Amino acid sequence: MSQQKIHGVWSNSWIFVLAATGSAVGLGNIWKFPYMAGENGGGAFVLVYLFCIALIGLPVMMAEVLLGRRGRMSPVNTMKRLVEEGGLHGAWTSIGWMGVFAGLFIMSFYSVVAGWAINYVITTASGTFNGADAEQVGSIWGGLLNDNGTLLLWHTTFSIMTGVIVALGVTKGLGAVARYMMPFLILALFVLLAYGVMKGNMAAGLDFLFNPDFSKLLYKYVEVNASGETVACSGELIHCEKQLTYEPTLKALGHAFFTLSLGMGAIMAYGAYMPDHSNVAKTVVTIGILDTVIALVAGMAIFAIVFANPEVSPAGGPGLMFQSLPIAFGSMAGGQIFGTLFFLLVTVAAWSSAVSLIEPGVAWLVENKDYNRWVATLILAGSAWLLGITAMLSFNVLSEWTPIFLFGKTPFNFLDFLTSQLMLPLGGLFIAIFVGWKMSKTIVAQEMDAEGHPLFEIWMFVLRYISPVLVGVVFVFALIDSLS
């Protein structure tokens, strides 16, 4: 409890829910989820994603919050305390360290994407996209990616925005983000949904998102190009080969971890500031529902707008938000206003999420090095900013730099792969094993306030036998896929 006095505590349970939801809701919901659904089968991908959230994401999230509240310190020191409490091997403290570094790595490329969103707020508000066709929008997008001065400006701006909030602390900084930004984010999202209903093709969007076609989830069409490489099919289907694929399913599980901020120390750190009277299970379920609803509403709003414009493909990939949507907004009534609101929404969502990424490391520096929060934040935010420059340059100067030690990927793609496909699932796997098998079941039940409750036994069974197996499968297949 003495550690609570160092960092503070959420003023009430609802602020914790909003803060944790803010950590979860970010680019993963509004940028990544729609384009991943678009690339991987629409409704079938959504079903698998929801299954992963319910069966793996929420049980592991409960375990991570439980660890944070039990330890009441930074993730590193929380794990150290719990390891000592259980008389366990010190290697288990690596869970905390992995979370600190995962958050730092994610922040490095996250701020680059958030910088794009800030730039697009200004570009859209100026009317640049009004009436623009695909070629013009593509030229604007390409120009941004090649303008390192502008990229550095917004990457730096977002890093400073994030650092200031973290440095202000739990009550004045993180709590204020939860109290004011999250209601704005939710309101803005539903305004955009209403716009999609009135001006977009909502029927086509709903059909795409909620009418599953499992053939798109299980199979892909490929062809052999002139160099003898197997690539995605671009011609007539009769010239293509149908292959069984596991990629969409693995991406759905990996994204479930990314969108809930699992395995990166953020939820453990936020759990350390959780009021004693809060019920872990009910709180986490509320967070999971809010996060999932926001992702689905974002998908509905975006695809309603996408399907209203025949020039725009739902399978637009990572560029869906920055190349496809500006075309749609530019051709729709009120598009300039609502397009600006959309990119402002993206910026706020990224901001509310980013503040949790460096909090685990900042908390550790405050506890162990006796730094004040401003100095600790400067060190962590500065480190992420420096690493982010390599991610920023991946789209121009370093676009051809794909060394073996980065698995043949650019720095940006490597950081994304390393965190969402490897570090986060691995962190979640270790958390599930630690809480399910290593901690005293009596202590776990006490922290969950669930002694003798039948649902507690079900949760423990899932945490011990189901979540680790499924997460382990994802981790192994992701690693195999990266090496193949």
pLDDT at 481: 67
- Measured CA to CA, the distance from residue 302 to residue 298 in angstroms comes to 6
pLDDT at 249: 77
Burial class of residue 236, CB neighbours in 10 A (0-12, 13-18, 19+):
exposed
Pair of tokens at residue 483:
């090496």
Pair of tokens at residue 226:
């002139």
Interval 125-168: pLDDT, tens: 999 999 888 889 989 999 999 999 999 999 999 999 999 999 99
Q: CA 188 → CA 15, 56, 121, 152, 205, distances in Å?
A: 19, 29, 14, 28, 19
Domains of the chain as residue ranges with CATH: 2-483 (1.10.4160)
230 phi and psi angles, rounded to 5 deg: -85, 120
Q: In residues, how long is the chain?
A: 484
pLDDT at 308: 85
pLDDT at 239: 66
pTM > 0.85: yes
pLDDT at 2: 46
Torsion of CA 309, 313, 319, 321, to 10 degrees: 40
One digit per residue, the tens of pLDDT, for the chain of length 484 reads: 445 555 667 777 788 888 888 877 777 777 778 878 877 878 888 888 888 888 888 999 999 999 999 998 999 999 999 999 999 999 999 999 999 999 999 999 999 999 999 999 999 999 999 988 888 998 999 999 999 999 999 999 999 999 999 999 877 888 887 888 888 888 888 998 999 899 889 998 899 888 887 777 777 777 766 666 666 676 555 567 777 777 777 778 777 776 787 888 888 988 888 887 788 898 899 988 988 888 889 889 888 888 888 777 776 666 778 887 898 888 888 889 999 998 998 898 888 888 889 999 999 999 998 899 999 999 999 999 999 999 999 999 999 999 988 888 999 999 988 887 788 888 889 999 999 999 999 999 998 988 878 889 999 999 999 988 888 887 787 677 666 6
pLDDT at 247: 74
pLDDT at 422: 82
- Measured CA to CA, the distance from residue 35 to residue 109 in angstroms comes to 18
